[in-house]
């Protein structure tokens, strides 16, 4: 081509311009061909990766290498290679096994789930509630990567100012695992806990430093040891060690289980090398699913793990559990040894990354043309932006199921039950196998005995219920089930399949089992002879479907719900299946009535049933529940009982926080939605003054002397008595999200009338329309509003005062709603006696949301033990509260202009927050923040007080 172009230039009769045009066209053609070549090379690489993955799925050759350069080989996870006596070679083999068993990320939406890139390419980092300032996080992580062991940085108790939460960031779960040598990671169902441990194991086994940046350099040689605690409990039952629960709890039990696992994989010869690595601190122990350990095995498992860590303190430890299960005292590990972090829901950025990775993989693996993959990614992202799907997409498992359904059906379900139903159908079809495959399919064998897909689904439902029941009953003497198997054993599987055949033909059932072993779908062989569903949530959904078929549904569910958190998700799925799958409301309503009867709860078990009634009402839908007069009365009873649970401080703190979240979605009866969401009820009685509590006039001290041990430097000089010669009223709670939403919805950011001069200039300059992270905050309206500046807090008070006057609310003459001065806040919190904490002296964790016990703002009033004698709540912990006062040294002088709302300068914050410690929760503690700071832990509270603030 180039030669022809050169010749054309010599003979071209129209001159050099035409020749240049020919040359340009040739260059363009060359560029186009190069681009096509690049695309073809990329697709060839993708196909090559896919072929390698398919080889791995049947006959896997580890890539770790060995001392002799001969890679170990596995068939279905069983070692078939050449044994070695060299310890390092044995550790290589164990790393290859870890890499193999964690390579694939299930439920990815590709017909061949073993194909395509592995977990390292698909994993989306999970954020935790552990926060550090950006520069500090970079500093300590860099030090850890170099092999240093920096202590986790705690807040300086003597600092005059809180860390700037607006510029802090949430550490990822991997970063938290780097900074904490022992760690408990909690999460909601489907939050990604198991995937996280699989990712850590795979990255460490393969030495993938790009996937795990910041991991300590000296620890890349550590061996990951992933242990599913449900399997450990099943092995304990088989070995008979549960009989001595409380005595046989040394680390020998853990080693016995490890020895058993190695023997199952023909790797007993590696035990010595593994023991040496653990004893030498060269292992990372990944313990998955403490919540899946049945109660009968819990004490033995828990004590065995603690004993193991005590004998091998040099290793790293990461344990996972569902959040609510870990709230129970009997399941918790000692907090100093095992600090706790919680996984956060996916935010918009993580959802976007997931969507991009999902559809890029479909294109790279050839399941979709590139253009179609890009088009579907855009449509899927747009669909997730709709309000009813935002909450679902924040859960990693539900987001995966939504993507699975959308990929196959090109539409999106609108309810959680519909998501699980559609995903189950797809995975069931995958289990059946493609029509083009050679040999019989499961559906073919079913047709031979006049069965069809419906029978297969019902069989899966019965099997799921059996596995769910066996997870607890299988550890009791004489209980049904196959002892020693965490899921369902092959013998039990055969027996259940035989029931589908009129003559209970064993050979026919064995043919089905053989096909299940070859497929990857709704049921899979976890290990030789042990079958389970690909995710616990799918098993719980199918068990819920089976439960929904029970003729005595309400009574059977109520029996299962007796103080048993392990059935809560299954029961929710049962209600969702009835409502969404059968359009039935009568039985769910009967269940709610059964769980929350007219008689008041007598114990914690009864209160938990009330909580479950609230969850069931959400699955049913508030509007559907209230369609009939009886349903409306039942729903109202549930609301008031849940409010009573929160206000009385029932159950554990974590459970109470979850109950308050349910209450927010049902409609919190403490607040009136048509009355600007102001308080209307407190402890079952009518609020006499819209949630404002009277504080008598009196004298107080703001700070303390310099020689007081607990005094911070900015408290010195405030020991003198200050007289407030007027009474005022203070909000029982901080301003809630729902209350502030009324201001936003009314155009509060558009009216100049509500803002001080500086605040209006700031609002216009920032083009502010709502608080920080507002879409996230609005999910729970009974939490304190955060992410607001002093300007916004001040504007809300002015706006609310005007709204109440428009409604002819009688306010005392000369009084108005506004932010409290520092002295007013302190008198409400300290009283004239100078209480150390709002409730008096002494601190306990159940009195305030602080020290990271919850990790985020909790619904107002969730800590009733922290109330003042007058009944003012949340003055310690939860969120810092803006005051009207400028941050100036003591002594406090109200006449020096510090309370002028038009003045510039940083303002005083009071009360501490969910991240602060007891020192900051004291009534004398003070902090400061600039007027324009909108931090994640700063909110506000209003007072009805004198309009003249110079008093």
Kindly write down the DSSP assignment for every residue of 7-34, as one continuous string: HHHHH-TT-HHHHHHHHHHHHHHHHHHH
Q: Which of 277, 283, 582 is nearest to 421 (CA)?
A: 582
Q: What is the distance between the alpha carbons of residues 185 and 165, in angstroms, rounded to a whole number?
A: 22
**pLDDT level of residue 22 (50, 70, 90 thresholds):** very low
Torsion of CA 481, 484, 487, 489, to 10 degrees: -70
At 70 the pLDDT is: 34
Note the pLDDT tens digit of each residue in 247-306.
445 789 999 999 999 999 999 999 999 999 999 999 999 999 999 998 889 999 999 999
d(CA 809, CA 537): 51
Question: How would residue 101 be classed by pLDDT, with cut points 50, 70 and 90?
Answer: confident
Q: Which residues pair with 343 in a beta bridge?
A: 128
Strands 283-288 and 223-228 come out as parallel
Residue 780 has pLDDT above 60, yes or no: yes
pLDDT higher than threshold 50 for residue 408? yes
Q: Is 563 a residue whose pLDDT tops 80?
A: no
**Whether the Cβ atoms of residue 539 and residue 532 lie closer than 8 Å to each other:** yes
Q: Return the higher-pLDDT residue of 783 and 138.
A: 783
Q: What is the pLDDT at residue 526?
A: 80
Structure tokens at 596: 């929350």
**Inter-CA distances, 724 with 728, 749, 948, Å:** 10, 34, 13
With residue 618 as reference, give the H or E element that holds it. helix 604-620
According to DSSP, the β-strands at 685-686 and 681-682 are: antiparallel
Structure token pair of residue 246 = 């409380």
Which has the closest alpha carbon to 102: 223, 195, 215, 231?
195
Write down the pLDDT at residue 482: 44
Task: Indicate the average pLDDT of the chain.
Answer: 85
**Residue 198: partners with Cβ closer than 8 Å, 6 or more residues away:** 102, 105, 119, 226
pLDDT tens-place string over residues 755-775: 999 999 999 999 999 999 998
> What confidence score (pLDDT) does residue 154 get?
58
3-state helix, strand, coil in the chain (%, to 5): 50, 10, 40
pLDDT at 253: 93
Is residue 35 very low, low, confident or very high in pLDDT (cuts 50, 70, 90)? low
Task: Please give the helix or strand (H or E) that residue 421 lies within, else none.
Answer: helix 416-432
What average pLDDT score do residues 887-893 get?
92
Query: Side by side, which strands form the sheet with 524-527?
Result: 488-489, 530-532, 524-527
821: tokens are 């001065």
For residue 638, pLDDT over 60 is answered with yes
- CA 168 from chain centre, in angstroms, equals 19
pLDDT at 484: 47
The region that residue 771 occupies, defined by phi over 0 for left and psi between -120 and 50 for alpha, beta otherwise, is: beta
Q: Are 362 and 110 in contact (CB under 8 A)?
A: yes
Q: Which residue has the higher pLDDT, 680 or 475?
A: 680
Q: 550-560, pLDDT tens digit by residue?
A: 988 998 888 88
State the average pLDDT over residues 447-466. Answer: 93
| Beta-bridge partner residues of 532 | 524
Closest to 653 (Cα-Cα) out of 359, 884, 863, 362:
863
Q: Is the pLDDT of residue 860 over 80?
A: yes
Q: Radius of gyration (Cα) for the chain, nearest Å? A: 32
C-alpha to C-alpha distances, 924 to 585, 827, 940, nearest whole angstrom:
54, 10, 17
State the Cα angle at 64 between 272 and 71, rounded to 5°.
Answer: 85
**List of residues 6+ apart from 854 with CB closer than 8 A:** 653, 654, 657, 914
At 336-366, the pLDDT tens digits run: 889 999 999 999 899 999 999 999 888 887 8
pLDDT at 929 over 90: yes
- Global pTM value: 0.84
Residue pair 926/701 in contact (Cβ under 8 Å)? The answer is no
Q: Distance between CA 642 and CA 659 in Å, rounded?
A: 7
User: Residue 637, class by beta-carbon neighbours within 10 Å (0-12 exposed, 13-18 middle, 19+ buried)?
Assistant: middle
Q: How many CB atoms lie within 10 A of CB 848?
A: 31
Where is average pLDDT lowest: 182-186, 372-376, 431-435, 449-453? 431-435
Residue closest to 671 by CA, chosen among 728, 731, 623, 614: 731
Among 38-47, 53-62, 910-919, the range scoring the smallest mean pLDDT is 53-62
- How much is the pLDDT for 517? 85
In sign, the C-alpha dihedral spanning 380, 381, 383, 389 is positive
C-alpha span between 343 and 320 (Å, rounded): 10
pLDDT at 475: 46
User: Would you state the pLDDT for residue 51?
Assistant: 43
DSSP string, 118-158: -HHHHPPPPEEEEEEEHHHHHHHHHHHHTT--PPPPPP-TT
What whole-number percentage of the chain has pLDDT above 90?
Answer: 61
Report how far residue 168's alpha carbon sits from residue 183's, in angstroms, rounded to the nearest whole number. 21
Position 306 scores a pLDDT of: 94
Query: Kind and range of the H or E element at 168?
Result: strand 168-172
Max intra-chain CA distance, the chain: 106
- Band (pLDDT 50/70/90 cuts) for residue 75 is confident
Which of the listed ranges 234-248, 472-486, 903-917 does the model predict with the highest average pLDDT? 903-917
Lowest mean pLDDT among 11-15, 168-172, 433-437: 11-15
Query: 319 pLDDT band (50/70/90 cuts)?
Result: very high
The answer for residues whose C-beta is within 8 angstroms of residue 258's C-beta and 6 or more apart is: 225, 227, 271, 274
Q: Is the pLDDT of residue 594 over 90?
A: yes
Which pLDDT score is estimated for 155?
A: 52
Tens-place pLDDT, residues 616-629: 999 999 999 999 99
The 3 state secondary structure assigned to 843-854 is: CCHHHCECCCCC
Residues 6+ apart with CB under 8 A from 781: 664, 668, 671, 677, 736, 737, 738, 741
Q: Out of 176-185, 434-443, 822-831, 910-919, pick the least confident.
A: 434-443
DSSP assignment string, 240-286: TGGGGTTTS-STHHHHHHHHHHHHHTT-GGGHHHHHHHHHTT-EEEE
Residue with tokens 């992410």: 787
Mean pLDDT, rounded, for 396-424: 92
Question: In Å, how far are 164, 280, 852 from 937, measured between CA atoms?
Answer: 10, 42, 12
* pLDDT on residue 710: 65
Classify strands 340-342 and 182-187 as parallel, antiparallel or unpaired: parallel
What DSSP state is assigned to residue 83? -
| Residue 285 vs residue 489, higher pLDDT | 285
**Residue 55 structure tokens:** 């080889």
User: Where residue 435 falls among pLDDT bands split at 50, 70, 90?
Assistant: low
Q: Which two tokens stand for residue 425?
A: 């159908």
Res. 474: pLDDT tops 90: no
The pLDDT, as a whole number, for residue 851 is: 82
Q: Which two tokens stand for residue 139?
A: 């500093």
Whether residue 368 contacts residue 376, with contact meaning beta carbons closer than 8 Å, is answered with: yes
Structure tokens at 687: 């609020």
Predicted pLDDT at 4:
33
| Burial call 548-559: b when 16+ CB within 10 Å, e when fewer | beeeebbeebbe
Give the H or E element holding residue 495: helix 490-498
Measure the CA–CA gap between 533 and 463, rounded to whole angstroms: 10
Cβ neighbours, 10 Å, residue 6: 13
**Residue 639 clears pLDDT 60, i.e. is over it:** yes
Give the model confidence (pLDDT) of 287-304 as tens digits. Answer: 999 999 988 899 999 999
């Amino acid at each position: 081509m180039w030669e022809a172009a050169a010749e054309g230039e010599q003979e071209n009769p129209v001159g050099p311009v035409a020749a240049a045009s020919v040359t340009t066209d040739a260059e363009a053609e060359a560029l186009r061909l190069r681009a096509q070549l690049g695309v073809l090379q990329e697709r060839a690489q993708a196909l090559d990766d896919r072929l390698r993955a398919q080889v791995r799925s049947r006959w896997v050759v580890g890539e770790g290498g060995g001392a002799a350069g001969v890679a170990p080989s596995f068939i279905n996870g069983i070692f078939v290679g050449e044994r070695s006596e060299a310890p390092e070679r044995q550790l290589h083999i164990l790393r290859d096994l870890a890499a193999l068993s964690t390579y694939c990320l299930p439920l990815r939406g590709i017909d061949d789930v073993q194909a395509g890139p592995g977990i390292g390419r698909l994993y989306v980092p999970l954020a935790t509630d552990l926060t550090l300032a950006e520069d500090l996080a970079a500093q300590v992580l860099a030090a850890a990567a170099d092999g240093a062991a920096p202590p986790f940085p705690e807040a300086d108790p003597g600092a005059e100012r809180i860390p700037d939460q607006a510029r802090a960031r949430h550490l990822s779960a991997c970063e938290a695992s780097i900074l904490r040598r022992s760690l408990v990671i909690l999460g909601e169902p489907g939050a990604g806990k198991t995937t996280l441990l699989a990712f850590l194991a795979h990255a460490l086994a393969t030495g993938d430093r790009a996937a795990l940046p910041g991991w300590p350099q000296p620890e890349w040689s550590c061996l990951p040891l992933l242990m599913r605690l449900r399997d450990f409990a099943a092995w304990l039952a088989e070995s008979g060690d549960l009989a001595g629960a409380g005595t046989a709890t040394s680390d020998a039990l853990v080693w016995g289980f490890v020895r058993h696992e190695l023997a199952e994989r023909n790797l007993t010869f590696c035990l010595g090398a593994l023991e040496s690595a653990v004893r030498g601190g060269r292992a990372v122990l990944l313990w998955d699913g403490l919540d899946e350990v049945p109660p009968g095995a819990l004490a033995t498992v828990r004590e065995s793990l603690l004993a193991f860590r005590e004998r091998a303190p040099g290793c790293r430890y990461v344990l996972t559990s569902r959040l609510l299960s870990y709230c129970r005292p009997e399941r918790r590990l000692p907090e100093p040894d095992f600090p706790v972090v919680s996984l956060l829901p996916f935010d918009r950025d993580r959802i976007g990354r997931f969507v991009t990775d999902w559809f890029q993989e479909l294109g790279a693996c050839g399941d979709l043309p590139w253009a179609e993959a890009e088009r579907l990614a855009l449509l899927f992202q747009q669909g997730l932006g709709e309000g009813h799907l935002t909450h679902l997409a924040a859960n990693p498992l539900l987001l995966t199921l939504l993507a699975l359904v959308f990929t196959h059906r090109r539409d999106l379900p609108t309810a959680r039950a519909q998501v699980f139903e559609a995903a189950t159908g797809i995975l069931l079809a995958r289990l059946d196998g493609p029509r083009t495959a050679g040999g019989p399919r499961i559906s073919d064998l079913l047709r031979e005995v006049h069965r069809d897909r419906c029978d297969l689904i019902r069989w899966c439902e019965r099997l799921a219920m059996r596995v769910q029941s066996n997870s607890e009953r299988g550890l009791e003497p004489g209980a049904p089930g196959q002892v020693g198997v965490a899921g369902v054993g092959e013998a039990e599987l055969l027996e259940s399949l035989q029931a589908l055949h009129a003559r209970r033909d064993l050979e026919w059932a064995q043919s089905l089992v053989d096909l299940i072993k070859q497929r990857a779908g709704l049921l899979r062989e976890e290990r030789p002879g042990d079958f389970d569903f690909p995710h616990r949530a799918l098993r719980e959904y199918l068990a819920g479907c089976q439960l929904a078929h029970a003729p005595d549904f309400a009574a059977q569910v109520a029996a299962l719900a007796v103080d048993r958190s392990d059935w809560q998700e299954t029961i929710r799925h049962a209600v969702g299946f009835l409502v969404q799958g059968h359009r039935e409301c009568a039985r769910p309503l009967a269940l709610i009535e059964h769980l929350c009867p007219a008689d008041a709860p007598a114990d914690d078990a009864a209160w938990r049933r009330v909580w479950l009634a609230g969850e069931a009402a959400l699955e049913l839908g508030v509007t559907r529940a209230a369609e009939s007069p009886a349903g409306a009365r039942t729903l109202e009873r549930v609301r008031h009982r849940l409010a009573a649970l929160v206000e009385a401080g029932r159950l554990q703190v974590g459970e109470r926080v979850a109950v308050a979240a349910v209450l927010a979605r049902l409609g919190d009866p403490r607040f009136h939605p048509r009355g600007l969401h102001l308080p209307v009820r407190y402890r079952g009685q009518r609020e006499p003054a819209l949630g404002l509590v009277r504080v008598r006039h009196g004298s107080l001290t703001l700070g303390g002397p310099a020689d007081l041990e607990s005094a911070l430097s900015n408290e010195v000089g405030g020991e003198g008595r200050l007289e407030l010669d007027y009474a005022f009223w203070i909000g029982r709670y901080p301003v809630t999200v729902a209350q502030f939403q009324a201001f936003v919805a009314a155009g509060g950011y558009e009216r100049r009338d509500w803002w001080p001069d500086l605040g209006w200039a700031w609002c216009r300059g920032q083009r502010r329309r709502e608080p920080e992270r507002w879409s996230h905050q609005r999910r729970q309206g009974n939490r304190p509003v955060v992410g607001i500046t002093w300007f916004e807090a001040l504007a809300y008070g002015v706006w609310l005062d005007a709204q109440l006057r428009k409604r002819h609310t009688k306010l005392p003459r000369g009084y108005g709603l506004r932010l409290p001065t520092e002295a007013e806040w302190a008198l409400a919190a300290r009283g004239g006696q100078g209480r150390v904490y709002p409730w008096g002296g002494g601190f306990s964790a159940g009195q305030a949301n602080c020290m990271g016990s919850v990790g985020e703002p909790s619904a107002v009033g969730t800590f009733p033990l922290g109330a003042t004698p007058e009944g003012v709540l949340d003055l310690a912990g939860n969120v810092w509260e803006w005051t009207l006062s400028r941050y100036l040294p003591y002594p406090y002088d109200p006449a020096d202009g510090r309370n002028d709302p038009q003045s510039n300068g940083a303002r005083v914050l009071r009360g501490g927050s969910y991240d602060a410690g007891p020192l900051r929760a004291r009534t004398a503690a003070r902090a400061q923040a600039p007027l324009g700071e909108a931090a994640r832990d700063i909110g506000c509270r209003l007072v009805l007080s004198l309009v003249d603030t110079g008093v």
